[in-house]
Amino acid sequence: MTTRAVHPASNPLRGAVEVPGDKSVSHRALILGALAEGATRIENLAPGADVAATRRCLEALGVRVEAEGETVVVHGRGLEESLAPSPHALDAQNSGTTTRLLMGVLSGQTFEAEITGDDSLRRRPMKRVAEPLRRMGAEIELRDGEYSPVRIRGRRPLHALRYELPVPSAQVKSALLLASLFADEKSSVRDPFGTRDHTERMLSAMTTSEGLSASGDRITFRPTALHGGCSISVPRDVSSASFFLAAAALVEGSDVTLPGVGLNPTRTGFLEIIREMGGRVRASGRNEAEVEPRGTLRARFSPLYGVRVEARRLPALVDEVPVLAVLATQAHGATRIEGAGELRVKESNRLEGVASNLRRMGARAEVQGDALCVEGPTPLRGAEVDTTGDHRLAMAFAVAALVAEGETVLSDARCVEVSYPGFFEDLEKLSS
Ligand code: S3P
């Protein structure tokens, strides 16, 4: 385990950083590319370990993926031809998205497959995906009825499904939409939570207009071939950008610019909240021409105030809660982030992990039911932070360390490679 020391910022953060490609969009581009007819070109694919795991799983299923300079080309096999059975278990490593989305795809194949992963992944709930996929006709075995490794025996065609999401999970919704590519009739999924819609956008772009339709919060998908020959340009990841937006808001004199960042409204909840807290964050040069909108973000230092985040807003900032809690320690007044129960089943129990590490640094933070409550402002002191190998905790606490007194040591800091391999280098670049 590599620890990493992070010191208080001695200078304002200034300059521009190109954060990596969006992780969620990248997983989907690879998977839909694999199922399309012919080649799909993907620009700016996310460089992290999670997306690399999806790529390797697809390769193990017979999909050819090639790098052409900065572009990745996926040679799709089409929907008619099955993927190829893998002689070994597919290793999703730390990636819930890889596991759940592939469960959807494998439900529609004609062979048996197993998906496994690391210790963190094997503690995450999978029944939420398995249960509706079983209704579609797939045979799925979970360890202890809930966990990975997952064994799947698919069938073709699957039964069409009409389903309402019981949990706010884009991964569940996406798995079902992917499975519905192999169904005998049109399927529909209701998402009353408004979770991220990257799969729907990409499916729309790759099918004819009869494929996908949305009415209110119900998405209907009629099985249709995915055309290849598409070029998918992955925007930069707004979740990765949020660490620098927060750092700029906290460190006096900072002024940071982040070009090409994804501005899909199902993902930009953190931008709204930081502004409501008094943060000076501006988006400019909005480009709506691509499947995923994007623009340049600029963030500057400013005083912050506590805020109440209602549960309905959580899906659009679910991965940003750790860094939002860090911001709240420096804000004037109380911050209450409600309906955050899903954070217990992320790469770690993020609710407890954030609150306990913040307390170690001297903050007033506690979990009340499903709410994370922080009372600010409090001076932070450097501490040993237990990241539990969770990339978002490591990056959030690197930001906290910038405004703490003395050195902060992050355990297992290499976990940032899951989503942002160059994170510490980029942070140093802005600080020097
Ligand atoms: C993701 C959805 C979210 C998010 C995760 C990526 C996706 O998870 O936390 O980092 O790509 O669909 P859930 O769908 O489980 O809430």
Q: Give residue-wise pLDDT tens across range 308-360.
A: 999 999 999 999 999 999 999 999 999 999 999 999 999 999 999 999 999 99
Mutate to test the pocket of ligand 1, among 95, 189, 318 (most ligand atoms within 8 A of CB): 318
CA distance 256 to 430: 8
What is the SS3 assignment for 280? strand
Percent of the chain with pLDDT over 70: 100
Q: What is the pLDDT of residue 110?
A: 94
CB 97 near ligand 1, within 6 Å? yes
Q: What is the pTM of this model?
A: 0.98
**pLDDT of res. 228:** 86
- Segment (H or E) for 103: helix 96-106
What per-residue confidence (pLDDT) applies to 127? 98
CA distance 319 to 314: 9
Verify whether residue 319 is a known catalytic residue: yes
Q: What is the mean pLDDT of residues 374-385?
A: 98
Residue 208 pLDDT class (50, 70, 90 cuts): confident
User: Is the pLDDT at 70 greater than 90, yes or no?
Assistant: no
What pLDDT digit, counting tens, does each position of 245-281 carry? 999 999 999 999 999 999 999 999 999 999 999 999 9
CA distance 209 to 201: 12
Amino acid at 41: R
- The rounded Å distance from CA 97 to ligand 1 centre is 6
Instruction: Quote the mean pLDDT of the chain.
Output: 97
User: Which atom of ligand 1 is the closest one to the Cα of 27?
Assistant: 11
Over 80: is that where the pLDDT of 1 sits? no
Strand order of the β-sheet with 364-368 is 308-309, 333-337, 371-376, 364-368
Percent of the chain with pLDDT over 90: 97
- Please check the confidence at residue 46 and state whether its pLDDT lies above 90: yes
Ligand 1: centre distance to CA 195 (Å): 9
Residue ranges of alpha helices (H) inside 150-262 are 170-180, 198-206, 238-250
> 170 CA to middle of ligand 1, Å?
6
Mean pLDDT of 365-373: 98
CA–centroid distance, 196 to ligand 1, in Å, is 8
- Whether ligand 1 lies within 6 angstroms of the CB of 24 is answered as yes
Q: Is the pLDDT of residue 220 over 90?
A: yes
| CA gap 197, 175 in Å, rounded | 12
What does the pLDDT read at residue 432? 86
Q: Which residue has the tokens 């012919």?
A: 38
**Ligand 1 lined by 318 (C-beta under 6 Å):** yes
What residue's CA is closest to ligand 1, atom 16? 169
Distance 352 CA to ligand 1 centre (A): 19
Residue range 189-210: mean pLDDT, rounded: 95
319 lines ligand 1 (CB under 6 A): yes
From the list 132, 200, 198, 192, the residue with the least C-alpha distance to 168 is 192
Mean pLDDT of 347-376: 98
Confidence of residue 210 (pLDDT cuts 50, 70, 90): confident
Take residue 151 and report the two structure tokens written for it: 């064994």
The H-assigned helical ranges of 110-197 are 127-135, 170-180
CB distance 296 to ligand 1 below 6 Å: no
- Per-residue pLDDT, 308: 98
CB of 31 closer than 6 angstroms to any ligand 1 atom:
no
Work out the average pLDDT over 36-43: 97
Does ligand 1 have an atom closer than 6 angstroms to the CB of 169?
yes
Among 22, 50, 191, 319, the one annotated catalytic: 319
The neighbouring-strand residues paired with 365 are 374
Cα(169) to ligand 1 centroid in Å equals 6
